[in-house]
Chain A
């Protein structure tokens, strides 16, 4: 099972965190500090895995952003590496050539996508298409809601004129 997902920039700035196992805010800060210290210092040609407090942390660097996932000892590390890649591909599909800025300013959308991909620490949907469809469905509703809100406010504005 995946215990948490962590996105940090090369400078150690947190871009996204998602915790599937209970951690207090204090522990979270500590975890992030420890892991960034561990992962950001690793050289480029080494394994994408590190051992950490009896868990494995699988990480992968995309441009200047590190995607990390913490898993149990007996999980398949290569698989998790691909889950990370799967997530990035899904993000890419959604944002259209995703870059770090997209995630910085739209981190809530990154969360929505992650939520469609992983649930309760397990991969719930291996198909990019379906994830994309679900997110699009939600977005279209959002758009509809926005339009509705606009039209209502227009009506009110006209009425009060």
Chain B
């Protein structure tokens, strides 16, 4: 056990951790850490630091780095530590480098050699440590250096090594698919590994592969289905069970892959139907993990070729999720509903009230998910309600990231489903007004184009109506303070183009407004540029129409001011304006034709009008133009091109060892060299050498100059030093049999039934009673369509109740049978997973014994012995609410059995080291049968000096307690 022997660090380090624990502010913490950094900087460079000391320094560096400070001065020490022979130090070294370095760090190159060596180690723990580092540190450039060894390790006898090798290959695939493309078949092979852990790990790369290329993996559908079936039938070793579900994480991975494979493929999907049906039926909806699997099933069902029966089952699960009190389940339900409505659009209808509840929930996460769902449900009939809601929400939040997202969603929906031009303009105005700086500037450009081009149909009156309504609304909005830049740009542009088009507003009125904008936002050059160009357009239109030009004095001053601006762009615009104003009507007509913003400007990139000029220059002896790519090629050729080409093709680092040097006397092979330093000084080591083929003395250095090369291939050879004896005998409990396919998996598990009484949903009918009229209206407008709202209210509520009744009926049919099977199959002994006592079913299994230690604890800790309530309980010394009851919402109805929650006889506790504690008031008291440990820990802590009751009471609470 880990900590019982003391924390194993020096006093100094404990002091540091303690003072960090007691610091009251971030700045105090920073001060402490800065002081620590100074100490470490000084210490770490001292000569001859004992290794154990150095190990602690490195752990302290990790600590410093973890708290967000820079520890780069010590990275090199961590790298050095990976070279150490002792696994203890090596492991620390690897831990530190994987935490310190990103894959693009310069020091990585120093570690590659060590990793290469360690991958060949005969101690599997060393190999594991190295593989862990491979996953984190090897980058695209260094993959070739370790790839062959990693592939070799796929056949290692230890399953832990095989598993990590698979993960490492997966990582390589993610980083650079081309380097491992020839090895992909290995993943298929490993799917049949005899160890379920390796098989499970293989699912990760296969998922990625299938995502990219579905077609070439269709043949695996049968295998995946059969694996899933075996898992569901509990034929994996019991140790893979998690909260009484058989290997749930593997199930979820498989379901994800099947969802991809069955997408739009009827044949493949048909193979899955049975196992999916089984899974949905058997899955235990009372645990969190069971719900995770159910959710994944729904995702799979909605992805594959639809099957009405499964869809029905999925809808049922969704309605359970939505009706749950648990927010997490509601969230998953909303998400699942969003997937399902693609296939059955009316699936949402029976849940409309639940959806609206979620929409009005104070929980932001839930709300956002619901908006996602609404977006998927949007039709032209309900777009107005939905977008209005979204905008209201957008205005209310401050999170820029999400504001941007929801703004662009609004724009997208409005563009797609807008019922009328007028509404569209108004909506866009609102979006721009509140999130103008956040939306992509393209949206602004789209809006301008839309106003210019109209909605596509050749209806000029509609278009001009759209424009004048836009102009009108903009003139109204422009007076408001602090509009975002993008919006002002749109306003200026539209006013310039169409401000005077319908004759409602005079040119001087519009120009006045434009001047106001330029003045009010004088720091924004883009807006000013838009404004002055708009002015120019209006003057041009006026002149072209033959009206007398009347430049307002304020416009005059603006133009003059901009003509003297520091920005050349603004200056140019101002001068152009002055020039345009001086032209006559005819010239303006051709220079700036009115309403020509939509006409394409044709550009001839060959610039034909320059041809004669070019000809003339050539004639006068100028050099002909050579395009850039030809020019560089020419230079290449003129250089010694061969070399250049070769270099570029072998670009990158070379990690293979140099070739063996050729010796003048072939019968005497040179000994491999272990260190560069020993290379030059020839040290005879005859007695140590284990390599028998060596000649006792080294050949003289001068005999071959090839020997002076740095040779990496000798590094892993062992010279005198003894390496680890193979330790596998002590810990290897099982030798793996040859991979014979997944069908050979042991069927260790007995076929205990998974089903447990499903939750009852008492509030099913409640919904009908308490619906407020506003909600009904909202529901009707969301789900029914605005035009028929009155009619719909009646029918929809009716339908909702019908749906509700239907599912109650179903669940009540289901329940008794499920309950009976559970009763019959209650295992003779409670399973070790008792941490999760929040779950009602498991709670009931635990016999209400009394724990002898509990009473002892009660004596020790008087003030906490009394209370034994549930989540609401807070203990006296503790100011904060106790959130120990993690599943509080689940175990509401189990209050009665919770008063004695610490049960299990001591004999049982020996078999499982898990502590069984739960409810709030008992948190402290229930260190359970490990009382001695707890006391020791407490004593140690007091010795360390952290005072539990005053400083940091939370430290002393068990995490799971």
Contact = CB atoms under 8 A, between A and B. Distances in A.
A28 B930 contact: no
Given A81-B288, A141-B727, A95 B164 contact: no
- Interface residue tally of chain B, by bracket? 35 or more
B365 A51 contact: yes
A35 to B, nearest CB: 13
Given A98-B958, A120-B170, A25 B66 contact: no
B135 A29 contact: no
Which 3 A-B residue pairings sit nearest by Cβ, starting from the closest?
A: A64-B954, A78-B292, A62-B959
Given A78-B332, A82-B242, A140 B730 contact: yes
Nearest to B103: A22
Interface stretch (B113-121, B631-639, B933-941): B933-941
A9 B170 CA distance: 33
Interface stretch (B36-44, B91-99, B262-270, B304-312): B91-99
B331 interface: yes
Given A25-B70, A92-B915, A127-B240, A9 B17 contact: no
A64 B328 contact: no
Interface string A116-146: 0001101111111110011011111110011
B401 A53 contact: yes
A145 to B, nearest CB: 5
Contact of B363 (A46, A139, A149): A46
B88 A108 contact: no
B666 to A, nearest CB: 43
B824 to A, nearest CB: 27
A99 B91 contact: no
Interface string B244-266: 00011110100010000000000
A146 B959 CA distance: 30
B132 interface: yes
A120 B171 contact: yes
Given A97-B927, A98-B959, A47 B954 contact: no
Contacts of A88: 835, 959-960
A92 B88 CA distance: 23
Interface stretch (B774-782, B809-817, B876-884): B876-884
Interface of A: 9-10, 12-14, 16-18, 20, 22-25, 28-29, 32, 43-54, 60-65, 76-79, 81-83, 85-86, 88-89, 91-109, 111-112, 115, 119-120, 122-130, 133-134, 136-142, 145-146, 149
Contacts of A29: 68
Given A49-B331, A89-B914, A127 B197 contact: yes
Interface in B145-197: 160, 163-164, 167-168, 170-171, 174, 196-197
Contact of B295 (A16, A53, A76, A112): A76
A47 B167 contact: no
B402 A63 contact: no
B163 A50 contact: no
Contacts of A149: 52
Nearest to B91: A138
B200 interface: yes
Q: Please indicate which of the listed interface residues A124, A130, A138 has the most CB atoms of chain B within 10 Å of its own CB.
A: A124
Contact of A86 (B14, B242, B888): B242
B800 interface: no
A82 B289 contact: yes
Interface in B92-143: 92, 95, 98-99, 102-104, 125, 128, 132, 135-136
Given A48-B327, A60-B886, A79-B296, 10 more contacts: A24-B102, A62-B959, A76-B292, A85-B288, A91-B959, A111-B62, A120-B171, A126-B248, A134-B128, A142-B88
Contacts of A106: 2-3, 7-8
A96 B365 contact: no
Contact of A83 (B21, B26, B249): B249
Nearest to B29: A13
B954 A141 contact: no
B515 interface: no
25 contacts: A14-B66, A32-B68, A47-B365, A51-B364, A54-B401, A60-B886, A63-B959, A64-B880, A76-B299, A79-B292, A81-B292, A85-B836, A88-B960, A91-B959, A92-B835, A92-B960, A100-B956, A100-B957, A108-B59, A125-B197, A126-B249, A137-B125, A140-B731, A141-B88, A142-B87
A20 B8 CA distance: 28
A147 B119 CA distance: 26
Contacts of B299: 76
A84 B872 CA distance: 24
Contacts of A18: 99
A100 B170 CA distance: 34
B318 interface: no
B63 interface: yes
B286 to A, nearest CB: 13
A86 B888 CA distance: 19
A48 to B, nearest CB: 6
Contacts of A22: 102-104
Nearest to A130: B197
Nearest to B957: A63
Given A111-B95, A119-B132, A13 B52 contact: no
A10 B880 CA distance: 10
Contacts of B295: 76, 78
Contacts of B204: 122
Contacts of A76: 252, 256, 292, 295-296, 299
Contact of B884 (A13, A51, A53, A63): A63
B933 A96 contact: yes
B954 A79 contact: no
B365 A63 contact: no
A76 B207 CA distance: 14
A119 B328 contact: no
Given A99-B956, A108-B92, A119 B927 contact: no
B616 interface: no
Interface in B879-936: 880-881, 883-884, 886, 888-889, 913-915, 917, 923, 927-928, 930, 933-934
Contact of A63 (B17, B128, B958): B958
Contact of A50 (B70, B249, B365, B833): B365
A52 B405 CA distance: 11
Q: Please indicate which of the listed interface residues A46, A126, A149 has the most CB atoms of chain B within 10 Å of its own CB.
A: A126
A98 B86 CA distance: 28
Contact of A48 (B17, B328, B727, B733): B328
Contact of B328 (A12, A47, A63): A47
B68 A92 contact: no
Contacts of B250: 126
B1 interface: yes
Contact of A109 (B2, B26, B200, B256): B2
B650 interface: no
B961 interface: yes
Contacts of B402: 51
A154 to B, nearest CB: 15
Contact of B125 (A51, A125, A138): A138
Contacts of B132: 115, 119
Contacts of A65: 959
Nearest to A9: B954
B201 interface: yes
B347 interface: no
Contacts of A17: 66
B3 A105 contact: yes
B409 interface: no
